[in-house]
Amino acid sequence: MAGGRKRAFDEDAALQAAMEVFWRKGYVGASLSDLTQSMGINKPSMYSAFGNKEELFLKATEFYLENKAKSHLPQLFEAGLSFKQRLKNYLMSIVADQCEGDDPKGCYVVMCQSEVASGDLPDSARLLLEGAGKYLQTLLMGVFNDDPEAKQLGLHENAELNALCLATTVSGTAGMARAKKTLVELEFVVDHSLRGIGLS
């Protein structure tokens, strides 16, 4: 029995393009025409490969989490560096991504989360974004509780609030990046937040 016809486009490249559209315009603002034009495919091909707009958004968001959000993790666990330096490198890697390009987009999750309160997002998208919004705080809380040097510095004693402080900082830098604040300016903000949790 013959196999199905091979798709004439790169699905990862198409998801990347869809992610960029949702990142700039949000779920509601991204039209099907915006999406298919950016993806370089027609609507029937989009429906066949990714489903409807809601399903495409879910796939694009998962693509972002796997390929962008988690790409900064090596900075946090790099051997031979102090905990403070590892943590700063990790945060600055995120902020540099927020500031990237002549028309910086900030953070995909923060951008899309701004639509949650409007009630215009499908439930599946809302639930995915709510979970994604907790990713950074949950990650940092675990690091503060588990990293030997972090524990030696006492960061585990207030792990949840320390993590909340830094997650809130990164949400704030996302908005400032979209307002075209520079990486140098936002590094100052990160340094202040690190001092605020006791990493002087």
Per-residue pLDDT of the chain in tens (200 residues, 90 and over written 9): 344 455 567 899 999 999 999 988 889 899 999 999 999 999 999 999 999 999 999 999 999 999 888 999 999 999 999 999 999 999 999 999 999 887 778 888 888 888 887 777 889 988 998 888 899 999 999 999 999 999 999 999 999 999 999 999 999 999 999 999 999 999 999 999 999 999 98
Give the pLDDT score at 118.
Answer: 78
Question: In this structure, is residue 168 part of a structural domain?
Answer: yes
Do residues 92 and 176 share a domain?
A: yes
Question: In this structure, is residue 197 part of a structural domain?
Answer: yes
Do residues 34 and 111 share a domain?
A: no
| Structural domain count of the chain | 2
Give the pLDDT score at 52.
Answer: 93
Of the candidates 19, 46, 67, which is a domain's last residue?
67
Give the pLDDT score at 59.
Answer: 95
Question: In this structure, is residue 122 part of a structural domain?
Answer: yes
Do residues 166 and 183 share a domain?
A: yes
What's 46's domain CATH number?
1.10.10.60
Question: In this structure, is residue 111 part of a structural domain?
Answer: yes
Of the candidates 67, 92, 109, which is a domain's last residue?
67
Give the pLDDT score at 8.
Answer: 65
pTM: 0.87
Do residues 63 and 78 share a domain?
A: no
Question: In this structure, is residue 1 part of a structural domain?
Answer: no
Do residues 107 and 164 share a domain?
A: yes
Supply the range of the domain harboring residue 150. 72-200
Do residues 55 and 86 share a domain?
A: no
Please enumerate in sequence order all residues whose Cβ is within 8 A of that of 124, keeping only pairs 6 or more positions apart, or say none. 54, 58
Give the pLDDT score at 101.
Answer: 82
Give the pLDDT score at 2.
Answer: 44
pLDDT digits (tens, 9 = 90+) for 145-159: 999 999 999 999 999
DSSP letters for the chain:
-PPPPPPSS-HHHHHHHHHHHHHHHHHHH--HHHHHHHHTS-HHHHHHHH-SHHHHHHHHHHHHHHHTGGGGHHHHT-TTS-HHHHHHHHHHHHHHHHT-SSS----HHHHHHTTGGGT-S-HHHHHHHHHHHTHHHHHHHHHHHH-HHHHHTTGGGGHHHHHHHHHHHHHHHHHHHHTT--HHHHHHHHHHHHHHTT--
Do residues 18 and 107 share a domain?
A: no
Give the pLDDT score at 110.
Answer: 86
Do residues 99 and 23 share a domain?
A: no
Give the pLDDT score at 150.
Answer: 96
Do residues 169 and 126 share a domain?
A: yes
pLDDT digits (tens, 9 = 90+) for 64-101: 999 888 999 999 999 999 999 999 999 999 999 999 88
Do residues 63 and 138 share a domain?
A: no
Question: In this structure, is residue 184 part of a structural domain?
Answer: yes
Question: In this structure, is residue 4 part of a structural domain?
Answer: no
Annotate 71-122 with three-state secondary structure. Answer: HHHHHHCCCCCCHHHHHHHHHHHHHHHHCCCCCCCCCHHHHHHCCHHHCCCC
Question: In this structure, is residue 102 part of a structural domain?
Answer: yes
